[in-house]
Amino acid sequence: MPEPESLAGRIDYIELGGFGVDEVGVARMPGLWVRGGFPLSFLAPTDADSVAWRNAFLRTFVEGDLPQFGAALGVPALHRFLAMLAHYHGQVLNVAELATALEVAQATVRRYVDLLEHLFLIRQLRPWRENLRKRQVKRPKVYIRDAGLYHQLIGAATMDALQVHPRIGASWEGFILGKVVAEAAPDEVYFWATHNGAELDLLLLKHGRRVGVEVKRIDAPRRTRSMLVALNDLRLDALYVVYPGDTRYAIDDRIVAVPARESFRRRPDVLKGKIELPDSLFDPLPEDELAACEGD
């Protein structure tokens, strides 16, 4: 019997997510945010159908899939575990608190969190640690990857319900964070925070450059002290503030407000190295391409 050959260095891995804004069009971005990127949820004819599909998905995932991967907590505890993780969406994970609530060891919670990350249900955003004389946050943040599933878990599965929910800001942050990471395709992704209150939602490393991203759900973001601290302490090449407006404008010499509808995906000619890399990590869509997306 021939010896199995190693595939190391002979294959590539491509992460396939749900629908993105560049696939459904800018005009349908609100629906993508609320329903998520799973095709049968996003394309459902009514909100009720979308909610029913997401509910069935979560039930099948918890009661059928997780036990097959070694999750032995029991169905009620697994449902409670997911609901608690949804509570931490966009926040630093407190493993000790989860372990106490579930009456299990902290090592068990960490194992289950890692399992859900490997199954692409959640995203653990690791902290960046700069060589500073400041106390920096060392624990990861956690996000439910699909916005539609997150809304299902917090009981805000429709736009009307989401608009009055206290976690709408965290929902928007997670949705935009996923969009930026998927489109920009950085080499490494982190968040950064200090115990003095300075923080950065995303630190993207690519081509030897450091780019920061802040997500703000406000009409006209302005420069903050936290932004200036992140720029200086992390030695950022640029800082982008993604917001739900329509106009890209300069906040500072190194801070730019960027509409959430813009695509952060590099165009093919840049990816192939046919032209010189621009100063910015991101390439905004030209106006004619953006207008075409909005017409989809």
Q: Is the pLDDT assigned to residue 259 strictly greater than 70? A: yes
Which position has the token pair 């080499």? 187
- By CB neighbour count within 10 A (0-12 exposed, 13-18 middle, 19+ buried), where does 145 fall? buried
| Contact call for residues 87 and 101 (beta carbons, < 8 A) | no
Of all residues in the chain, what percent carry a pLDDT higher than 90? 70
| Contact call for residues 241 and 214 (beta carbons, < 8 A) | yes
Fold of 25-165: Arc Repressor Mutant, subunit A (1.10.10)
**So what's the pLDDT on residue 151?**
98
What is the side-by-side strand order in the sheet with 209-215? Answer: 188-193, 199-206, 209-215, 238-243, 255-259, 249-250
Average confidence score pLDDT of the chain: 88
CA distance 175 to 183: 12
Which position has the token pair 């002979």? 10
| Contact call for residues 270 and 228 (beta carbons, < 8 A) | no
Q: Can you give the residue ranges of every domain in the chain?
A: 25-165, 184-296
Q: Is the pLDDT assigned to residue 167 strictly greater than 50? A: yes
**So what's the pLDDT on residue 296?**
45
**So what's the pLDDT on residue 288?**
53
**So what's the pLDDT on residue 2?**
67
192-248 pLDDT, tens digit each? 999 888 999 999 998 888 999 999 999 999 999 999 999 999 999 889 999 999 999
66-96 pLDDT, tens digit each? 998 888 888 999 999 999 999 999 999 999 9
CA distance 174 to 170: 6
| Contact call for residues 243 and 216 (beta carbons, < 8 A) | yes
Rg of the chain in Å (alpha carbons): 20
Using CA atoms, how far residue 173 sits from 51, 115, 245, 280, in Å, is: 22, 23, 15, 22
240-249 pLDDT, tens digit each? 999 999 999 9
CA distance 251 to 254: 8
| Contact call for residues 270 and 278 (beta carbons, < 8 A) | yes
Using CA atoms, how far residue 70 sits from 67, 78, 163, in Å, is: 5, 12, 37
| Contact call for residues 206 and 186 (beta carbons, < 8 A) | yes
10-63 pLDDT, tens digit each? 888 888 889 999 899 999 999 999 999 999 999 999 999 999 999 999 999 999
Highest mean pLDDT among 105-109, 272-276, 292-296: 105-109
Backbone angles phi, psi at 277, to 5 degrees: -60, 135
